[in-house]
Chains A and B, each alone.
Chain A
Amino acid sequence: MKKFIFKTLLFSFPLLIIAVVLEVMLWYIPNEYSYKKEYLDKYSEDIETLILGSSHTYGGLNPELFSSNTFNAGHNAQLLYYDNKILEKYKSRLGKLKTIILPIAYPTLFANYEIKHISHCQSNYGYYFGFWKYPSFEIMNNRLIHNLRKLKASYINKTMKYNCTKLGWSTAFNSKQTRDLTQTAYETLEWQTIENIKSEKNNKIFKENLSILRSILQWSKNNNVKVLLFTLPAYKTYRNNLNKEQLSRTFRATTDIADEYNNCIYFDLMSDNQYILSDFWDASHLSEFGAEKLSHFMDSVIQSDFKARTHNTLYK
């Protein structure tokens, strides 16, 4: 028995060493998370408009097009939980903050770390922001070949670049690399549509997310910060295939919560016909053209001191 355990450990030892070395090396590669953390550490006192949220804001709102001093702290698959954590971490330093922009997308209120497309991002919040809610390893998040390419680009070729601008806007949603609007709708909805949304577990997730949203709104209200909630424009291939129940529950809860807080306004832009084919990068994300339109619109709302009317919504 002891021989078996000893030999198994001996055999596994080189693999464990390699795994640890790879994990540490990957951890030290500068990326968008480490950049955003660094930016917030240095400049959070100056931020007037803070953009939080998932890829919808990360690629959909360009801070350079805002009149106020704006920073995009959103990231792909960023849960409300982490939006709140970022806010909690920097709230004492956000003295000039006037507006928070937060997207409420079709999966937002039903999302948690267990969803495969979300879980792989969680280690980044642990490593770079110190938010260790769920243990996760960088080497497990991507295929080994992808990680090796990343290491080569960073340590050997020194060609690793940030995929975001200085103010945190993603440069990945480029119109030169658009994706098929039908295929992406199918692929995205496959994981975004939650099976059995009335189940005990999904109800719990839904309530937890609403509670986080309320906590963000309450802190904002107490500190005279306005909150702009919105749902991103989506292409018809995506819109037409949504689960009506999940969609209406999300929109009803969001409109109700926006009515509850007088510092909050909600725009449902999902069916906004101003956004044409070239504005979409895929079925549920905007290209730089769409991002420009959306950024100008959001800026105009902020500049009008939230006097713009909320858009019509199908599910209010």
Chain B
Amino acid sequence: MLFNSIDFAIFLPIVFILYWFATNNNLKLQNFLIVAASYLFYGWWDWRFLSLILFSTVVDYTVGRKLRIEENQTKRKILLWTSILVNLGFLGFFKYYNFFLDNFITAFSFFGTEIKSNSLNIILPVGISFYTFQTLSYTIDVYKRKLEPTRDFIAFSVFVSFFPQLVAGPIERATHLLPQFYKKRTFDYSKAIDGMRQILWGLFKKIVIADNCAYYANQIFNDSADMNGSTLALGALFFTFQIYGDFSGYSDIAIGTSRLFGFNLTQNFAFPYFSRDFAEFWRRWHISLTTWFRDYLFIPMVKLNKNRKNIWKIVTVFIQFIIIGFWHGANWTFIIWGVVHAILFLPSLLRKKKQKNIGSIAKGRIFPSLKEALSIFTTFSLLVLSMPFFRAENFNHAVSYILGIFSSSLFSIPHFNGMRRALFTIIITLIFFIIEWYGRDNRYGIEKLGLKWKQPIRLSFYYIIIISILVCMGTAQEFIYFQF
């Protein structure tokens, strides 16, 4: 079920009403209802893959329970690795099997050995990369005794399958989300209104910004061989906004929906396009994934080398970014994208200024200082230039796309079909960018915007957002991150 579909517009109020009225505020009933709703939500796409979620749930719940009573360290490790192998095994098979098979065949043929093997026609279960990492965090935290394993199977099932964030995150930690399923929830009016506002902003980002930008980005990327440098640069810019609107829009809808049911999810995006360097960018972009890798991969790896030499840190950064890239998809382009970001991240690491730009941007001022503006512009430009690796079909396409940008036609006027119509998208994206800048110290762009306005003006503002969503509806694209 897509958040931007009629199905979801019917599903959500029904679940909401049942949750608050039919369960009589009974915690167990509420949790059971969310599990049922989540399975329906997921099964709407393909019910067969519900068995995968159920299997992961049962395995991790059982492993967690056994870890609680097991004192023998070797047995504890076996239990941990059982969970890791089962979860990563599913992910590896469904997402990476064909990639590895094709690359083995290519590698062997390079050495003169022909291997005949057919790729399997595998459907990638939606959201598998997200819920796999979420359940893994539970087992690892229980193994490290940072978290008491749950005895409540239903609460654990909700944790794994919670519908707002099941298919595209935020990837929640068990330490943060699971305890919320044990506590009695009472309806909070201001929280629910805030949730509605965040859902509205998420829909705006997805339907108005991402889907409109996608139309032009697709056109330019599909015909990139015939486009001039400035058009290619514009195409990369459209894609940069598309992916942000798409993914952060999804996160906003997920977080807003959770608030309607009384839950708080982790902030997943913190205005990453205003970052002053790449270390800051990765603290603001897909926060739930980067912190997952930081806590479960980067820090343990750095600790492996007690001397903590720079060279080991650099190796660790590269490994982490390559895995982050590969997490996005079974294609060399994502791996290269990860390498590019590792390189862009290095200056902050080597100058030991990784923690430099931590505070808010241009705090207390309307405009950034010249130095801040230059840093933001440089970081954003480099980000846009890395995007062809994320979007292109293959490595050659990405390289030729980037080389095409730096051709002599970079300073000519962009030209493609529908250029005049694209101006509308550019203007509305610019307005969106200004609103985001205004709200950069909040959790989402319009969190505080208009709260002090008179009611008719504030309501008119929301109606304008709704009308712009309705005007742009009809060219709905699936959420990009569903494929990850």
Contact = CB atoms under 8 A, between A and B. Distances in A.
Nearest to B196: A8
Given A4-B193, A11-B459, A196-B121, A140 B6 contact: yes
A143 B471 contact: yes
Nearest to A201: B46
B103 to A, nearest CB: 23
Q: Which of A141, A143, A146, A196 has the most CB of B within 10 A?
A: A143
A8 B13 CA distance: 11
A17 interface: no
A141 B196 CA distance: 25
Contacts of A143: 471-475
B466 A15 contact: yes
A142 interface: yes
Nearest to A142: B474
A158 interface: no
A140 B7 CA distance: 12
| Contact residues on A (Cβ < 8 Å of other chain), bracket | 10 to 19
A156 interface: no
B196 A144 contact: no
| Contact residues on B (Cβ < 8 Å of other chain), bracket | 10 to 19
A145 B193 contact: no
B212 to A, nearest CB: 11
B121 A146 contact: no
Interface string B466-484: 1000111111000000000
Contacts of A142: 474
Nearest to B476: A116
B5 to A, nearest CB: 10
Contacts of B466: 15
B474 A1 contact: no
A8 B260 CA distance: 12
A207 B474 CA distance: 31
Nearest to B475: A143
Interface string B452-473: 0000000100110010001111
Given A11-B459, A196-B121, A4 B474 contact: no
Interface string A74-103: 000000000000000000000000000000
B474 A146 contact: yes
B367 interface: no
A3 B189 contact: yes
A144 B459 contact: no
A141 B473 CA distance: 9
A4 B189 contact: yes
Contact of A144 (B121, B189, B470): B470
Contacts of A140: 6, 473-474
B268 to A, nearest CB: 25
B50 interface: no
A291 B20 CA distance: 61
B192 interface: yes
Interface in A208-250: none
Contacts of B192: 4
Contacts of B44: none
The 7 A-B residue pairs with the shortest CB-CB distance, nearest first, are A143-B474, A1-B187, A144-B471, A144-B470, A4-B192, A4-B189, A145-B471
Interface of A: 1, 3-4, 8, 11, 14-15, 140-146, 196
21 contacts: A1-B20, A3-B189, A4-B187, A4-B192, A4-B193, A8-B196, A11-B459, A11-B462, A15-B466, A140-B6, A140-B473, A140-B474, A142-B474, A143-B472, A143-B473, A143-B474, A143-B475, A144-B473, A145-B471, A146-B474, A196-B121
Given A4-B189, A15-B463, A143-B471, 15 more contacts: A1-B20, A1-B189, A4-B192, A8-B196, A11-B459, A11-B462, A15-B466, A140-B474, A141-B474, A143-B472, A143-B473, A144-B471, A145-B471, A196-B121, A196-B123
